[in-house]
A and B are shown apart, each in its own frame.
Chain A
Amino acid sequence: SAVISQKPSRDICQRGTSLTIQCQVDSQVTMMFWYRQQPGQSLTLIATANQGSEATYESGFVIDKFPISRPNLTFSTLTVSNMSPEDSSIYLCSVPGQGKGGELFFGEGSRLTVL
């Protein structure tokens, strides 16, 4: 299993500002995933962050809005840029397990409220 720490756990932000979420894993992993969970809804994959290469974004998500860094095998950041109330969500970092099947391990999430 993997232990994942996210910061901040929650924040209240003003419209038009940007916030960077940090994700730290207790072991080296090749892939890290960023998900968004809008209020009362399921998880939507934003992007896959691989160390040493550009992140791969899912349809509907763009790098200008959600820039991602992956400086090493245990750390990643997701920035939510130029925020609007529609960005109010829980943002979750996850990594696949090492065994067959690759179930995901999740951080506790970062709950953002944009006013």
Chain B
Amino acid sequence: AQSVTQLDSQVPVFEEAPVELRCNYSSSVSVYLFWYVQYPNQGLQLLLKYLSGSTLVKGINGFEAEFNKSQTSFHLRKPSVHISDTAEYFCAVRGNTGGFKTIFGAGTRLFVKA
């Protein structure tokens, strides 16, 4: 079984500042890792994913994340945020064998201030 912990429920940050949203996971098997974003009144959309290979993955809208197996982390970063990045961000994990059941973290609310 897998689980996901997002360490911050809310992250306020000023526009053009860097941001890191933290995610830790636990699993007894190898995993795929995902970050999704949910804008107000919308469904979720994929930001980026880690399947294998390079531990630094780049996604849409200038976001990137680094997989750290020893620390079981998959933190999301952006060097300079925009007002439009204000949204809920969810870290998710799925075992890389068997079915597609995906476990989501509790979410981090990113609030970008002018």
Q: Cβ of B100 and Cβ of A43 under 8 Å apart?
A: no
The interface on chain B, measured as residues whose beta carbon lies within 8 A of the other chain's beta carbons, has a size of 22
Please report which residues of chain A, range 80-105, place their CB below 8 angstroms from some CB of chain B when the two chains form the complex.
92, 94, 96, 100-105
Please report which residues of chain A, range 57-115, place their CB below 8 angstroms from some CB of chain B when the two chains form the complex.
92, 94, 96, 100-109, 111
**Most chain B beta carbons < 10 A, residue from A4, A45, A101, A108:** A101
Q: Cβ of B44 and Cβ of A31 under 8 Å apart?
A: no
Contact of A106 among B45, B51, B100, B101 (CB under 8 A): B45
User: How far apart are the CA atoms of A4 and B32 in the complex, in Å?
Assistant: 23
Q: Cβ of A43 and Cβ of B43 under 8 Å apart?
A: no
- What are the residues of chain B within 8 A of A53 when measuring CB–CB? none
User: How far apart are the CA atoms of A45 and B44 in the complex, in Å?
Assistant: 14
- What are the residues of chain B within 8 A of A96 when measuring CB–CB? 100
Q: A41 — nearest CB in chain B belongs to which residue?
A: B106
Q: Cβ of B104 and Cβ of A42 under 8 Å apart?
A: yes
User: How far apart are the CA atoms of A5 and B43 in the complex, in Å?
Assistant: 11
User: How far apart are the CA atoms of A94 and B34 in the complex, in Å?
Assistant: 15
Contact of A92 among B32, B34, B44, B94 (CB under 8 A): B44
- What are the residues of chain B within 8 A of A103 when measuring CB–CB? 34, 46, 49
Please report which residues of chain B, range 63-114, place their CB below 8 angstroms from some CB of chain A when the two chains form the complex.
90, 92, 94, 99-102, 104-107
Return 20 A-B CB contacts under 8 Å, by A number: A31-B99, A41-B106, A41-B107, A42-B104, A42-B105, A43-B104, A48-B101, A94-B44, A100-B51, A101-B32, A102-B100, A103-B49, A104-B36, A104-B44, A104-B100, A104-B102, A106-B45, A108-B41, A108-B43, A109-B43
